[in-house]
């Protein structure tokens, strides 16, 4: 698109000044911010930042949750042709240090005291961090730090400057062009040090408009912005498409109220990674366990029908009149109330991305009438590479290339992408840029997959994670893990097996789901670690694994990847401990090294193994968690082809 984010803001403010641009829930009440008021706020912040010395090409860090004033600050920086760099609000101070140092950041926006403390902690190592502006003043009254000021103070100074310099703001916006750098996003660091991905207004808005055209998005959409602003997916759906389409973005009160806010807003357009959909389903299944026998029976009977005919109806394909009638009854008694309870009753289009979603989980939502679809992309491609058209949705693919995207496969099966949404570069890292973006403009994704006969892209796994067992059988760890995580009692799974004689897994339980299950059986436990090692819990998880093994036995390519042995970890995998990225992706190499003695115990035939693990608490302190972990065998099944 031949425009910029600030120009789109002014366009909406001129065309629909009184229409709501954003809503924020504060003290339990939704407050609306109009396009005209937002444009005024952005002008005041931009003028304040200009007075403070923010200049073209400089980077400005923003740390916080989705808030109107965070979005306004991003727009203000872009208005001055500066570059916003959103960071994860749950990152520890040490994780913020590299981006701030790498981009030589002088200016920062912090949502509250917690974020201010992190930035002040790293300032000793990043002395160029001169100015920190905070939004929420609670707890900061007695802080006396150089360069620390409230955003309100900046806005007041900007208001005075704007009144004395009429036309300054519009003139600055007019100087910016679509090929100016619009933002920088740091990768999740799944395979090593995070890298700053540089995107222009053109790349981000081109992909935003391509997605909007694909799903016919309009200004009438309602969106709930519940993911971190530092995640490029959130930025595309709730920032780039927001300004491209002019719909309303709603900001939850807090992470704890997201599920309530979801029901209150009833979004029409919804985007979340698989773990959010997993959490929603886990809540449903946990509540069903507490229901009466008659309600559980009705639920399971109608869900069996839904899985059989729901996706077919969702895709507009014919089913028998009797099944259509039964489904309509199920919609009245089960599916409709369930969608309403989940906050998805008004959803017209829902997307999941970030990592592969389990086919069973995906089918569940489509079966109850939610138009959940998958897309494929990454930070480097501005997210939107492949999308699933309505009525062409398949659980095992991620759709077809969207507008102006080319896909090519290497001899090894790696997916290459050429698109108007590709990154300009990795910031100050030409070697890494050259490794992923070749002279012909192809981006090397690192994913393995293929285009099926329908022209849909199918992702097998990360190319580097795909392996072979000792007997040559294909080993796709993510596929196995996703099937395991469909069960509400399993929160996370890590499969190992490359060049080994069999597949083994390490599991995390879902504490709420398993705790509820244990409570109904009068099973006492002292905490997470104690609960994980109960023989009854191991038997529960063994049954889940064996169901997955039975499914794998029917898959010609993956029948050899059935799980032979497993254990339940004594602690949850945690981003603060380096085991997950900030987008909750498993860091396999780190986990394999950290839990090497457990892996060796799994393959060494042991029935238990002691382990002590250092952990980091939320307040920055460190401690140790230790336990003797049980190791159990799981039943495997003969491949169906061989059995036949």
Q: What is 152-165 written as a DSSP string?
A: HHHHHHHHHHHHHS
- Residue 262 near residue 279 (C-beta atoms within 8 A): no
Question: What is the structure's pLDDT at 444?
Answer: 96
pLDDT at 643: 40
54-72 pLDDT per residue, tens: 999 999 999 999 999 999 9
pTM, full prediction: 0.86
Give residue 189's pLDDT band: very low, low, confident or very high (50, 70, 90).
low
Residue pLDDT, tens place only, 93-141 = 989 999 999 999 999 999 999 999 999 999 989 999 999 999 999 999 9
Q: Tens of pLDDT along 11-66?
A: 999 999 999 999 999 888 999 999 999 999 999 999 999 999 999 999 999 999 99
352-389: b (≥16 Cβ within 10 Å) or e = bbbbbbbbbbbbbbbbbbbbbbbbbbbbbbbbbbbbbe
Residue 297: pLDDT over 50 = yes
What's the pLDDT score for residue 642?
45
Q: How far are the Cα atoms of 22, 297, 342, 485, 516 from residue 289, in angstroms, in the given order?
A: 38, 11, 17, 18, 9
Nearest to 288 by CA among 540, 488, 544: 488
d(CA 128, CA 107): 9
Helix (H) or strand (E) run with residue 87 in it? strand 83-87
In the predicted model, is pLDDT for residue 192 greater than 80?
no
pLDDT at residue 463, rounded to an integer: 77
275-289, 307-321, 332-346: lowest mean pLDDT where? 275-289
**Confidence check: pLDDT of 530 > 70:** yes
The percent of residues in the chain predicted with pLDDT above 70, rounded, is 98
What is the reported pLDDT for 186?
94
* pLDDT per position as a tens digit, 589-637: 899 999 999 999 999 999 999 999 999 876 667 899 999 999 999 999 9
pLDDT given for residue 413 in this prediction: 82
Quick check: 275 pLDDT over 90? no
Predicted pLDDT at 641:
56
Beta strands in 536-599 (DSSP E): 563-568
Give the CATH superfamily of 5-271.
ANL, N-terminal domain (3.40.50.12780)
Question: Are 111 and 136 spatial neighbours (Cβ–Cβ below 8 Å)?
Answer: yes
Dihedral (CA of 129, 131, 134, 137) sign = positive
Three-class SS state of 194: coil
The full set of domain ranges for the chain reads 5-271, 467-643
Identify the residue with better confidence: 190 or 466: 466
- Cα–Cα distance between 90 and 80 in angstroms, integer? 28
Residue pair 64/229 in contact by the 8 Å Cβ criterion: yes
Dist. CA 54–CA 81, nearest whole Å: 9
CB 208 within 8 A of CB 241: yes
Q: Top-level CATH class of 467-643?
A: alpha beta
353-377 confidence digits (pLDDT tens): 877 777 778 899 999 999 999 999 9
Residue 404 region by backbone torsions, left for phi larger than 0, else alpha for psi between -120 and 50, else beta = left
Residue 191 has pLDDT above 90, yes or no: no
List b or e across 404-417, with b for residues whose CB sees 16 or more CB atoms inside 10 angstroms: ebebeeeeeebbbb
Dihedral in degrees, nearest 10, Cα atoms 273, 276, 277, 281: 160
Instruction: Note the Cα 390 to chain centre separation in Å.
Output: 22
Residue-wise pLDDT for 198-240, tens only, equals: 999 999 999 999 999 999 999 999 999 999 999 999 999 999 9
Token pair recorded at residue 613:
């693990």
The C-alpha atoms of residue 272 and residue 233 are separated, in whole angstroms, by 9
Q: What is the pLDDT of residues 76-92, one digit of tens each?
A: 999 999 999 999 999 88
What's the pLDDT tens digit per position in 387-435? 999 989 988 899 999 999 999 999 878 999 999 999 999 999 999 999 9
Distance between alpha carbon 172 and the CA centroid of its chain, in Å? 34
DSSP annotation of 333? I
- Whether residue 131 contacts residue 153, with contact meaning beta carbons closer than 8 Å, is answered with no
Q: Judging by DSSP bridges, how do beta strands 443-451 and 414-418 pair with one another?
A: antiparallel
């Amino acid at each position: 698109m031949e425009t910029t984010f600030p120009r789109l803001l002014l366009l909406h403010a001129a065309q629909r000044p009184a229409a709501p641009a954003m809503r924020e829930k504060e003290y339990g009440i939704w407050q609306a911010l109009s396009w005209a008021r937002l444009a005024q706020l952005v002008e005041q912040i931009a003028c304040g930042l200009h007075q403070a010395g923010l200049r073209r090409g400089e980077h400005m860090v923003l740390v916080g949750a989705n808030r109107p004033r965070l979005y306004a600050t991003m727009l203000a920086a872009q208005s001055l042709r500066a570059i916003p760099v959103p960071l994860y609000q749950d990152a520890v101070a040490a994780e913020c240090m590299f981006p701030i140092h790498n981009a030589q950041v002088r200016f920062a926006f912090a949502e509250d005291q917690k974020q201010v403390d992190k930035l002040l902690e790293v300032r000793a190592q990043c002395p160029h961090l001169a100015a920190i502006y905070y939004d929420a003043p609670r707890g900061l009254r007695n802080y006396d730090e150089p360069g620390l000021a409230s955003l309100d103070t900046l806005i007041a100074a900007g208001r005075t400057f704007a009144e004395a310099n009429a036309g300054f703001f519009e003139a600055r916006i007019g100087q910016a062009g679509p090929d100016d750098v619009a933002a920088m996003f740091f990768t999740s660091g799944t395979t090593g040090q995070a890298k700053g991905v540089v995107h222009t207004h053109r790349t981000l808005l081109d992909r935003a408009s391509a997605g909007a055209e694909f799903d016919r998005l309009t200004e009438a959409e309602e969106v709930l912005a519940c993911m971190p602003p530092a995640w490029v997916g959130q930025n595309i759906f709730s920032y780039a498409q927001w300004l491209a389409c002019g719909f309303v973005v709603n900001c939850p009160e807090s992470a704890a109220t997201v599920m309530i806010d979801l029901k209150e807003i009833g979004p029409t357009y919804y985007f979340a990674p698989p773990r959010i959909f997993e959490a929603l389903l886990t809540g449903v299944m946990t509540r069903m366990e507490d229901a009466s026998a008659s309600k559980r029976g009705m639920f399971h009977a109608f869900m069996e029908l839904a899985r059989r005919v729901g996706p077919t109806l969702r895709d507009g394909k014919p089913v028998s009149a009797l099944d259509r009638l039964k489904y309509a009854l199920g919609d009245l008694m089960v599916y409709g109330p369930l969608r309403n309870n989940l906050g998805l009753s008004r959803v017209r289009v829902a997307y999941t991305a970030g990592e592969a979603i389990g086919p069973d989980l995906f089918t569940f939502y489509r079966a109850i009438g939610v138009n959940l679809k998958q897309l494929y992309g990454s930070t480097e491609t501005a997210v939107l590479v492949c999308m699933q058209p309505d009525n062409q949705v398949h659980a095992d693919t991620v759709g077809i290339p969207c507008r102006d995207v080319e896909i090519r496969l290497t001899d090894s099966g790696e997916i290459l992408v050429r698109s108007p949404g590709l990154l300009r570069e990795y910031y100050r890292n030409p070697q890494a840029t050259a490794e992923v973006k070749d002279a012909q403009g192809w981006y090397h994704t690192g994913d393995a997959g293929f285009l099926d006969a329908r022209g849909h892209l199918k992702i097998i796994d990360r190319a580097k994670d795909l392996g072979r067992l000792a007997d040559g059988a294909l080993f796709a760890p993510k596929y196995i893990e996703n099937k395991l995580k469909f069960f509400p009692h399993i929160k996370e799974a890590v499969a190992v097996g490359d060049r080994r004689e069999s597949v083994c897994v390490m599991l995390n339980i879902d504490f709420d789901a398993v705790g509820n299950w244990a409570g109904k059986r009068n099973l006492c436990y002292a905490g997470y670690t104690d609960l994980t090692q109960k023989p009854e819990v191991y038997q529960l998880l063994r049954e889940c694994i064996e169901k997955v093994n039975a499914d794998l036995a029917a898959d010609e390519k993956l029948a050899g990847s059935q799980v032979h042995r497993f254990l339940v970890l004594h602690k949850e995998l945690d981003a603060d401990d380096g085991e997950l990225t900030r987008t909750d992706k498993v860091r396999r190499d780190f986990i394999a090294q950290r839990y090497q003695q457990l892996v060796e115990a799994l393959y060494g035939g042991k029935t238990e193994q002691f382990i002590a693990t250092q952990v980091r608490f939320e307040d920055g302190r460190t401690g140790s968690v230790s336990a003797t972990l049980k190791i159990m065998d799981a039943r495997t099944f003969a491949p169906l082809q061989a059995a036949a």
